[in-house]
Structure 1
Amino acid sequence: MSVDVRVEPGRIARLLRMRGGRVERKLRERTERVARIAEAEAPGSMGRYISWDITQGPRGLEGVITCDHPAVNYVLNGTRPHLIRPRRRNGVLRFEVDGRVVFTRLVRHPGTRPNNFMARALRLGR
């Protein structure tokens, strides 16, 4: 009696990578874990703007994490010192300092350091 076993690597790879397969389930778990860490690491309310998905990329399935907050670029890359003026021509800026309400026409912002919470979440999620 003889047994003939034929292993076709292409078919095995397709089987593993197909939708709903083992690879997709593991990718989904990891992507969701990294997204939850990013939500926790994000400053202020920015975590509420984080979403994730599994998509078909050029090299197979990919886990994609997105932050749609309007200021995410400034947080990730930081800002240089800059002036802040009111939007309206004769308007004023209103904010609180040590519990006191302050009104002014100009703020000299010192800038912010970069806070790449997305890359940090990726490192922590491994």
Structure 2
Amino acid sequence: MSVEVRIDTGKLSRLLRLRGGRTARKLAERTEKVARIAEREAPGSMGSYISWKVTDGPKGLQGVIVCDHHAVHFVLDGTRPHIIRPRKKNGVLRFEVGGRVVYSAYARHPGTRPNNFMARALREGR
């Protein structure tokens, strides 16, 4: 006795891309899980700027996680040592050092190491 199995790849492909289908629900669960980990790993208030969605991509459904914080690029990639100057001409910087308020024409920032919390969240959320 022989059994013949035929797979209609077109129907299978449509089934996998079906919005609201099982695949889409599982992708949404996984994407949300990774986004929650990224929120937890993000420094300062950056986690509150993270959002996620499932969308149609060029190869089917895809989970997308975005951080809209203005400084996310500097956190993910790090910065080199640099000079910080006031925004206004002839302005001053104001900051605290050891509990004392200090005013300065500029500050030498030592730079920061990269903190790729998004990649860590993706690895942890597998």
| Alignment TM-score, normalising by the size of structure 1 | 0.92
The percentage of aligned residue pairs carrying the same residue is: 72
Distance (Å, rounded) in 1 between the aligned partners of 2:12 and 2:105: 66
Structure 2 match to 1:116? 116
Gaps in structure 2 of 5+ consecutive residues: none
Which residue is equivalent to 2:90? Answer: 90
Q: Unaligned stretches of 5+ in structure 1?
A: none
Distance 1:105 1:21, change over 3 A: same
What secondary structure does 1:101 align onto? strand
Distance in 1 of aligned mates of 2:6 and 2:84? 70
User: Could you say which residue in structure 1 is the equivalent of 2:15?
Assistant: 15
Greater mean alpha carbon deviation, residues 96-105 or residues 86-95 = 96-105
Residue 96 of structure 1 and its aligned partner are, at CA, apart by 1.4
TM-score, normalization: structure 2?
A: 0.92
Q: Look up the SS of the partner of 1:44 in the other structure.
A: coil
Cα offset, 1:90, TM superposition:
1.2
**Equivalent-residue separation in structure 1 for 2:110 and 2:125 (angstroms):** 32
CA RMSD of aligned residues (A): 1.6
* CA deviation after TM superposition for structure 1 residue 5, in Å: 7.1
Separation in structure 1 between the aligned mates of residue 5 and residue 27 of structure 2, nearest angstrom: 30
Aligned residues: 124
More moved, 87-96 vs 51-60: 87-96
> Hey, what's the Cα distance between the residues in 2 that align with 1:9 and 1:86?
61
Q: Which amino acid aligns with 1:120?
A: R
Q: Secondary structure at the match of 1:91?
A: coil
- Deviations 1:18-43, CA, capped at 9 Å, x for gaps: 00000000000000000000011001
1:1-126 to 2 correspondence within 5 Å? Answer: 7-126=7-126
Amino acid in the other structure paired with 2:30: R
